[in-house]
Structure 1
């Protein structure tokens, strides 16, 4: 009977470790892939510990979503019954906030940014900025600024989120105020975004009043394993003071030829298959509306795509 030698076993082990390291450390190339990774590797065991804005439990459903147990937190549907019962992935720093600071948004909105702007796609897929939220709460938060609203009544039952629609302002529950502040600092610092003085002052106060708890630290560790870096404002490696100068590591990483994403795999979000630039005749036929770009096949597979059957 054949028995593999030591060198063969070591080679196989090295190959397996290489594949594992790629699977663990490759950052998502798209928002669609990021949502799946957030479910599988960050929040997989958190669905009984509360959604972001309301603290509701949910059952996982589909590839990246979930069905909310409204009774678990006393949530009352305000206006959108379909979105109130499902979990969605919230950009803590709204996509429109960082998108509107890009030329691509001014020339065609979010769809144009997704098609043409690598930096926008990096920001949209950054797992540090994603959290599972009740769809209706996500919709009501919209892209409103954060504020303090003691006179605004709750409108979602026992969910402790206050939304002043006319003032376009939201006050979240205390349990996430510190995390929100540190995510805002991270996104603005890493991607060189502009932060208003009013938001800066509020978020600095929240950062001091609500230091990282055990879950925020664990969340950062889990996200760092995927993204390749943690949030220095969570880890205490960096602070934010008035007049903060952004480090802009995200821009520098994108500018380096050796780290710039080189898209070679094209997915079709409708058929859930991916195509290679050579050997796959349908590569150039994927419509812009359904197109999802990946850096490599590993990312496409991790996102749940399979190779097109007509690839040679």
Structure 2
């Protein structure tokens, strides 16, 4: 298991905005209005979330419909921080008609820690819908070869091994998001994944947009990602956002 939830009460130091997942997505849409680029592929997308595949050489692997729009992707999947909770495993919720249910929808309704994690904007990025779907809840890792199933987009998925390999330009971002989720919500990253993320963190340092994104989210959520703060932000403060 990639990560394990160690504490159900650690969210006090994290996202205290009180936003639902839906509200967080609306805040992100506004926040990204001057930086509409998809996370994995660097594609431009419009005000209503329509992806310009030509801007990045993206071609759908299979799901053209889902590939036309962005979706807000959890870098650390909701399954990873929710599946061990009672509300995910047991039917402790009920519909207005009294029908019991469980899973993500239930946790999002009754578990405050899950709600904070699900709507934490540091863990949400705009991704082409097809890439979000193909990545699913797979772990990140390295895949042999450089197959291009999505046109020119540097993103590979090994469906058998359940692994997704992102482009070099966002590997450090992913690592720092995982470190943030671990520190903030009492999660534990496995040794193998930690070694990989530490390498990615060094190879892909914080850039100007990551710093700006951190500041914007902090203004909404009231907390920041210390793994972005800890870099030399002042040295980059005059850099152009990329």
TM-score (norm 1): 0.64
| Residues 28 and 34 in structure 1, CA contact (< 8 A), matched pair in contact too | no
Q: What are the superposed Cα offsets for residues 14-33 of structure 1, whole Å, 9 maximum, x if unpaired?
A: xxxxxxxxxxx972521000
- 2:35 paired residue among 19, 37, 46: 46
Distance in 2 (CA, whole Å) between partners of 1:152 and 1:165 is 15
Alignment of 1:167-186 (within 5 A): 167-186=161-180
Distance in 2 (CA, whole Å) between partners of 1:45 and 1:85 is 20
- Aligned match of 1:71: 54
Kindly state the Cα deviation for residue 117 of structure 1 after the two structures are TM-superposed.
0.5
Q: What are the superposed Cα offsets for residues 249-289 of structure 1, whole Å, 9 maximum, x if unpaired?
A: xxxxxxxxxxxxxxxxxxxxxxxxxxxxxxxxxxxxxxxxx
- Aligned match of 1:187: 181
| Residues 217 and 234 in structure 1, CA contact (< 8 A), matched pair in contact too | yes
Distance in 2 (CA, whole Å) between partners of 1:186 and 1:85 is 30
Distance in 1 (CA, whole Å) between partners of 2:87 and 2:189 is 20
Kindly state the Cα deviation for residue 150 of structure 1 after the two structures are TM-superposed.
3.4
Runs of 4+ in 1 over 3 A off after TM superposition: none
- 1:80 paired residue among 51, 60, 63: 63
SS at match of 1:150: coil
Distance in 1 (CA, whole Å) between partners of 2:121 and 2:131 is 20
Q: What are the superposed Cα offsets for residues 102-148 of structure 1, whole Å, 9 maximum, x if unpaired?
A: 22212221011012101100000001111101000110111110111
SS at match of 1:212: coil
SS at match of 1:194: strand
Kindly state the Cα deviation for residue 90 of structure 1 after the two structures are TM-superposed.
0.5
Distance in 2 (CA, whole Å) between partners of 1:221 and 1:32 is 21
- The structure whose RCO (Cα within 8 Å, separation 6+) is larger is 2
Kindly state the Cα deviation for residue 168 of structure 1 after the two structures are TM-superposed.
0.3
TM-score (norm 2): 0.82
SS at match of 2:189: coil
* Cα RMSD for the two superposed structures: 1.5
Kindly state the Cα deviation for residue 194 of structure 1 after the two structures are TM-superposed.
2.4
State the aligned residue count.
206
- 2:136 paired residue among 129, 138, 142: 142
| Residues 16 and 116 in structure 2, CA contact (< 8 A), matched pair in contact too | no
| 1:206 maps to 2:195 | no
Distance in 2 (CA, whole Å) between partners of 1:35 and 1:163 is 25
Kindly state the Cα deviation for residue 101 of structure 1 after the two structures are TM-superposed.
3.3
Kindly state the Cα deviation for residue 188 of structure 1 after the two structures are TM-superposed.
1.3
Instruction: Summarize the Cα distance change of 1:117–1:111 in structure 2 as closer, same or farther, 3 Å threshold.
Output: same
Unaligned runs of 5+ in 2: 1-14, 91-101, 232-242
Of 153-162 and 192-201, deviating more is 192-201
Distance in 2 (CA, whole Å) between partners of 1:39 and 1:26 is 19
